[in-house]
Amino acid sequence: MVATKTKAKTTKKAAKKAVKKKAAAKPKAAAKKVVKKAPNKKVTTKKTKTKAPVVKAEPKVKVGKIVYLFGGKKAEGKGDMKDLLGGKGAGLAEMTNIGIPVPPGFTITTETCNLFYQNEMIPPEELAPQVAVGIKHVEKLTKKKFGDPKEPLLLSVRSGAKFSMPGMMDTVLNLGLNDETIEGLISKTENDRFVYDSYRRFVQMFGNVVLAIDKSEFEHVMELRKKRQKIKLDTEMTVDDLKYIIKKFKRIVKDKTGEDFPQDVNLQLEMSRDAVFRSWNNPRAITYRKLNNIPGNLGTAINIQAMVFGNMGEDSATGVGFTRDPSTGQKEFYGEYLTNAQGEDVVAGIRTPKNITDLAKEMPKVYKQLREITTKLEKHYRDIQDFEFTIQEGILYMLQTRTGKRTTASAVKIAVDMVKEKLITKKEALLRVEPESLEQLLHPRIDPNAKPSIIAHGLAASPGASSGMAVFSSDDAVRYADAGKKVILIRQETNPDDIHGMNVAEGILTARGGMTSHAAVVARGMGKCCVAGAEEIKVYEVDRKFIAGKTVISEGDVITLNGTKGEVMTGEVATIEPELSGEFGIFMGWADEVRKLKIRTNADTPGDSRVARSFGAEGIGLCRTEHMFFAPERIPIVQQMILAHNELDRRDALDKLLPYQKKDFKGIFEAMQGLPVTIRTIDPPLHEFLPDKEEVLKEIESLKAAGAWEDDIKEKQRVLARIEELTEFNPMMGHRGCRLGITYPEITEMQTRAIFMAACAIAKKPSKTAPIPEIMIPLVGTVEEFKHQRNIVIQVAEEVMRQTKTQIDYLVGTMIEIPRGALTADEIAEFAEFFSFGTNDLTQMAYGYSRDDATRFIKIYMDKGILPNDPFVSIDRPGVGQLMKIAVEKGRSVKKDIKLGICGEHGGDPNSIEFCHQLGLDYVSCSPYRVPIARLAAAHAVLGATEYTMK
């Protein structure tokens, strides 16, 4: 590709401005090609003839094949080359190889993208000749010539990373059109409206994507023209309208860049190629990668392909679809199309498309061929396919196939169905659903007994129900969400720049767009409730309101979306917990067949315990007894105990608490139906149960001002004195956990008595299964601490069982949450019957981070690469993980069958669960709603670590 000097000037100035606007690094390097030459080894001057120092040139990186051809009978790539060709390029190569009609083209590899960034936004010099070969390949198969005025070849330039990033990077269509080639195309097609429409699209897309001109500049021109001509649709514009618009568009380019719109087709291709590479690091792409844990060093491939046109008349069309319903998983053909349109019209939501089944009536032969091809693709890939197609004058072309994004409910159903269809194995089915995604299945749904006020209907684009305040821009969504507000993002239609707002929103509502629009596809991938294409509403984004019939919803008003039925409702509507499908039960049964880890839950109430059991919990791994103290009727008694002057008064208060604790434990034991229940004795420092110091000071001042009784004032002053007495500089490492139980053994006695009175009461009932209490002593750092508390537990337990004439099995163990406890685990294991890793505190003490304050800098650490991830979310394997490993090995060296588990927040994190499996723990414990996630993650840990054969 060789550009003239005049055109090179255009490249330099226009591309420089574009790069600046796209916030890409080092714009000068992107603006022109600079070949760096090594300096001469010897420099001589007339005066001195001295030798200059020798400067060695940097060794040149050897670049091999970086362009792969596809189309025709055989492609140079294959479907398993996603790392190099990206998902789209690998799919085009594979379709070529299995005989599916695709427009010919070539793929520039992801490696080239990385070289582009490494070399200051300059592509490697080996690229141009390989691209020239690719152009010749396309010219040969299409019998057209790139830039030829009579038989012009037009190209599309599309991104394509290894992992699907829908709409996050850039595309340029109709490349190769200029003031000369349009005349040849008109002569060839005898369809001047189609040609001018394509030229209009190209100038608009090139101006926005390559030259970084805001798309609203072009859209404003279009809207004014349609308003003047009294038309609504783009398809109603005449040739004269299009000529006028093209002229206006070119003027915008000239005004914004200082240069004419480039007419050299090679220059157009170079500039578009570099713009697509730059889009790998645009803000929305970076945000999407962070949200989906996609590495930033993969790079994107570029697919350059012969254009086929869906906008050549009523016998032409373009569409997208799925081989199964991506929302429900039902085995039914699913998709949308538009006649006389190009691809971006469908996904952008500019026109509301038709259901793909309508194509059977409009073009029955093409529809039949499309069904045959997509069925073949699904069987070939053995997974749901997301495909794009274009029909040009009755001839079908496939533009893309890739694994379809789907909701988790759909993923589970498809996985189960495909096992039944003998397309995949159970192991493959389990590995196709990410554990974290199961959270989507736990989304609430509208209470059927609710009587909502429905003001509009749209497409049920992504299931679930959500309520929140209406906001009309993504920036506002983020601002309100950061302030703790729940928001519903409302847009005319979303575009890739809305990714940050969509991420924080509870739900998404659009007035335009279909089931395969940007909003629908991204919402389903995120698990967000979405109603799309609600054409009954009129959205006024600038005025921050929408109107549905006679109802006006302004920013801040609360609305509710029902993404399962496509309904828009005023106010906050009541919801109920979801019902898990039969396929979910089958799928999770397969996971249970595989996993080795038991899954318990962290639960403090009978209600939480029942929820966890319904999700498959196999016991309680952490019951926090102190949470029970905060109930309104109990906190005064707790405070009485804390303020007591002596042990006798403390015991008096504890005797009042005993019935409450017994009732709590009885409810939990009944809910768990004989499964083990690990109960932690009191852990937090006592001052947490007392009123806030500032509030007490204000109360004292108020009492004095009101002339209250002296005794009342003295009582408040006594509370204040006790607060000050209990105040600690570092309470998380202060008087808490077993230290409280050692200082005030009567607290441990009361709690143990309540536990065993409840357990024995249930065990005596013939219809009930005896509970299995496991008493866990927190914050143990020395074996003597543990022995002290263990002795109290055993003494009281035996006393209660003797009094009730009931014998039950029980265990006494400890939390390993202090580094010293881990390092001396062999000493503790001589007396403990189980260890449970309290990784929240263990992480805090291993790092020296306060978990309450570390949030201020941990994100900065991750952004700067100092931490790979948040250690309070995923276990830090090199540090905290090593402490756990030491404790496991030391504990089992003394007591081979000691029970080992984890009960910190990490117990629900899939990455941490994998590590727990590798350590050989017996169980993990997590919050009730993460139990299904933990069950699947435990199965993944087995399947990822071994060659496992399922029955």
Q: Residue by residue, what is the 3-state secondary structure of 227-263?
A: HHHCCCCHHHCCHHHHHHHHHHHHHHHHHHHCCCCCC
Angle subtended by helix axes 745-763 and 783-804, to nearest 10 = 40
- Find the angle CA(783)-CA(786)-CA(789) to the nearest 5 degrees: 150
Tell me how far apart the alpha carbons of residues 764 and 476 are, in angstroms, rounded to a whole number: 60
Residue 668, burial from CB neighbour count under 10 angstroms (0-12, 13-18, 19+): buried
- Cβ-Cβ contacts under 8 Å for 18 (sequence gap 6 or more): 210, 211, 212, 275
Written as one letter, the residue type at 41 is K
Nearest CA to 756 among 768, 776, 773, 769? 773
202 three-class SS: helix
Q: Looking at residue 47, what is its pLDDT?
A: 39
Buried residues in 514-524 as b, exposed as e (16+ CB within 10 A): bbbbbbbbbbb
Q: Could you tell me whether strands 334-339 and 317-322 are parallel, antiparallel, or unpaired per DSSP bridges?
A: antiparallel
Residue ranges in the chain whose pLDDT is less than 70: 1-61, 343-351, 516, 525, 579, 581, 945-951
SS (H, E, C) 135-162: HHHHHHHHCCEECCCCCEECEEEEEEEC
Q: Looking at residue 54, what is its pLDDT?
A: 47
- Bridge partners of residue 318, in order along the sequence: 338, 390
C-beta atoms surrounding 492 within 10 Å = 18
Q: Could you tell me whether strands 598-602 and 620-624 are parallel, antiparallel, or unpaired per DSSP bridges?
A: parallel
Assess contact for 699 and 644: CB atoms under 8 A: no
Assess contact for 519 and 561: CB atoms under 8 A: no
Assess contact for 212 and 18: CB atoms under 8 A: yes
Q: Could you tell me whether strands 507-510 and 487-491 are parallel, antiparallel, or unpaired per DSSP bridges?
A: parallel
Q: How does DSSP assign 524-589, residue by residue?
A: HHHT-EEEE--TTEEEETTTTEEEETTEEEETT-EEEEETTTTEEEESPPPEE-----HHHHHHHH
Assess contact for 413 and 583: CB atoms under 8 A: yes
Residue 815, burial from CB neighbour count under 10 angstroms (0-12, 13-18, 19+): buried
Tell me how far apart the alpha carbons of residues 458 and 530 are, in angstroms, rounded to a whole number: 9
Query: Which strand ranges, in their side-by-side order, compose the sheet holding 105-108?
Result: 67-70, 105-108, 300-306, 155-161, 171-175
Tell me how far apart the alpha carbons of residues 167 and 820 are, in angstroms, rounded to a whole number: 51
Q: Looking at residue 350, what is its pLDDT?
A: 61
List the catalytic residues.
Answer: 518, 903
- Cβ-Cβ contacts under 8 Å for 873 (sequence gap 6 or more): 905, 906, 909
- Cβ-Cβ contacts under 8 Å for 562 (sequence gap 6 or more): 445, 446, 460, 465, 529, 531, 568, 569, 573
Q: Looking at residue 24, what is its pLDDT?
A: 40
User: Number of helices (H) and strands (E), helices first, in the chain?
Assistant: 35, 33
Give the helix/strand (H/E) hosting 599.
strand 598-602
SS (H, E, C) 89-124: HHHHHHHHHCCCCCCCEEEECHHHHHHHHHCCCCCC
- Bridge partners of residue 529, in order along the sequence: 507
- Residue 471 exposure: Cα atoms within 13 Å on the Cβ side: 25
